[in-house]
Amino acid sequence: MSLSDYRKVLVTGASSGIGEAVVRRLTSHHLEVHALARRQDRLSELASATGCIPLALDLRDTDALYDTLQSTEYDVLINNAGLGRGYDSLAAASREDISRTIETNVTAAIHVVHALLPGMIARRRGHLVNLGSIAGLYPMPTALYGASKGALHLLSQGLRMELKGSAVRCTEICPARVRTEFFDTAFDDPTKAEQAASGFELLEPSDIADAILYALDAPWRVNVSTIEITPTEQYIGGIYIEPVGR
């Protein structure tokens, strides 16, 4: 199984950033791409430009999620919708920030998998691509967001085991900083959003779309399990030790 064996794709979070780039990349192949997000106007523009099928839906509406998605035989899920409210401080986050982040990044992401996976298993054809983050792999001062992406990391790893023998593949993509609207949504203070998106050359959404395409197009014997992808000028590692005498 590789890209040529897949027909129908669902991309969540398709109205901007990484999801939009993935829709643009996949519609240039033979695939029928369904683009899901809340902002209908953005999806309509994307549909006119690419021929994708727009699905305007709030993934936090669980009943609507199952009603909309379960009847279509998707071969590929790009489980991408997500946000980072309460990004830099759990203590300063509101209750609404906590609910939005967990309900979108964890609860909805799991329900989407649950809605599509039984069909994939029955057809013995499928590929789940979960959008994690380096914040789900390493300790960072982004506790709430990291907890949500850490959950997705173990979901992906556990699914790899549960799906043994099913012919369904599972890939987790873990980007560091990408130039999208993510930080505009995460921060109310535009200065913080600007700071997060400056200082070095960020990844572009198309870089992530390229990595996803690589995983989808790999031959059947290859399950690309985890891809960690960072800007050249952003590194992971080091250790923080409180200065002596503090």
Would you count residue 226 as binding ligand NAP (CB under 6 A)? no
Would you count residue 101 as binding ligand NAP (CB under 6 A)? no
Pairing state between β 76-79 and 8-12: parallel
What residues are annotated to the active site?
Answer: 145
Q: Least separation, in Å, of the C-beta of 227 and ligand NAP?
A: 12
Would you count residue 156 as binding ligand NAP (CB under 6 A)? no
Q: Least separation, in Å, of the C-beta of 60 and ligand NAP?
A: 5
Q: Which residue number, 1 or 12, has a Cβ lying nearer to ligand NAP?
A: 12
Would you count residue 192 as binding ligand NAP (CB under 6 A)? no
Would you count residue 81 as binding ligand NAP (CB under 6 A)? yes
Q: Which residue number, 29 or 60, has a Cβ lying nearer to ligand NAP?
A: 60
3-state DSSP call for residue 228?
strand
Binder to ligand NAP among 8, 29, 32, 39 (CB under 6 A)? 39
The C-alpha atoms of residue 138 and residue 129 are separated, in whole angstroms, by 20
- C-alpha distances out from residue 147 to 61, 83, 121, 153, Å: 22, 13, 29, 10
Q: Which residue number, 4 or 40, has a Cβ lying nearer to ligand NAP?
A: 40
Would you count residue 187 as binding ligand NAP (CB under 6 A)? no
Binder to ligand NAP among 1, 9, 10, 16 (CB under 6 A)? 16
Binder to ligand NAP among 1, 6, 9, 13 (CB under 6 A)? 13
The C-alpha atoms of residue 54 and residue 43 are separated, in whole angstroms, by 6
Residue (of 69, 145, 71) closest to 113 by Cα position:
69
- Residue 75 tokens, joined: 């071969």
Task: Restricting to residues 111-150, name those near ligand NAP by CB under 6 A.
Answer: 131, 133
**Element housing 78 (H / E):** strand 76-79
Residue with tokens 């400056």, as numbered in its chain: 198
Q: Which residue number, 80 or 117, has a Cβ lying nearer to ligand NAP?
A: 80
- Tally the C-alpha atoms within 13 A of residue 191's C-alpha that lie toward its C-beta: 0
Would you count residue 80 as binding ligand NAP (CB under 6 A)? yes
Binder to ligand NAP among 10, 31, 37, 46 (CB under 6 A)? 37
Helices (H), 83-167: 95-102, 109-123, 143-162
For residue 181, how many other CB atoms are within 10 A of its CB? Answer: 14
Would you count residue 34 as binding ligand NAP (CB under 6 A)? no
Residue 58 near residue 246 (C-beta atoms within 8 A): no
User: Residue numbers of the site for ligand NAP (CB under 6 A)?
Assistant: 12-19, 37-39, 42, 58-60, 80-83, 104, 131, 133, 175, 177-178, 180-182, 185
